[in-house]
Amino acid sequence: SPGEFIPVAEQSGLISQVDDRVRTIVWDFLRTYDIRMAGIDHISVNLSAVECTQPSIIRTIEEEAEEAGVERGTLHFEITETMAITSRGTLAERMERMQRMGYCFHLDDYGTGYAGITNLISLPFSVVKLDKSILNLAESTEKGKMVKSMIAPFHDCQIKVVCEGVE
């Protein structure tokens, strides 16, 4: 699972190569298939902590998009909650620049770290993905109300919320 191999790739210094390969596959797919004809408006890929801190990441992604000839809005980037709170300043600047270029960002695994909602609202996320562990907690009526109240501020800020694990 990614929970097992991603930390190994990060520790070994191979995560950038994994990320590059994943993006290459996705750009090729987007170039080959009209996903909108299938009712899909975007594909999301993770942007690792290592990539987010590299000054060249914006230029790299823009070059990949130009080479693929793909509309920017069809590729979204997911950033983990941990990354969002540990590199907020650098991340905010890069996200805002990429957002102006037409990219969207999803906050992945929300609820697994220590991010306060005020910290996260300051970053330009268009989607928040609640970790599937929160869905399990929401099965009881009382805790379900708590999860609903946790989601409301995101909706108030026009941020979509997705619950992982509903499948």
β-strand 127-130 against 104-110: which pairing, if any? Answer: parallel
Asked if 10 and 19 count as a contact pair (C-beta separation under 8 A), the reply is no
Strand partners, 82: none
The per-residue pLDDT for 31 is 92
The per-residue pLDDT for 146 is 82
As a whole number of angstroms, the distance between CA 128 and CA 119 comes to 13
The per-residue pLDDT for 116 is 66
Run of H or E residues at 65: helix 57-68
The per-residue pLDDT for 61 is 93
The per-residue pLDDT for 80 is 79
pLDDT digits (tens), the chain, 167 positions: 777 888 888 889 888 899 999 999 999 999 999 999 999 999 999 888 778 778 899 999 999 999 999 888 899 999 877 777 666 777 888 888 899 999 999 988 887 766 666 667 778 889 998 888 887 777 777 778 888 888 888 898 889 998 887 65
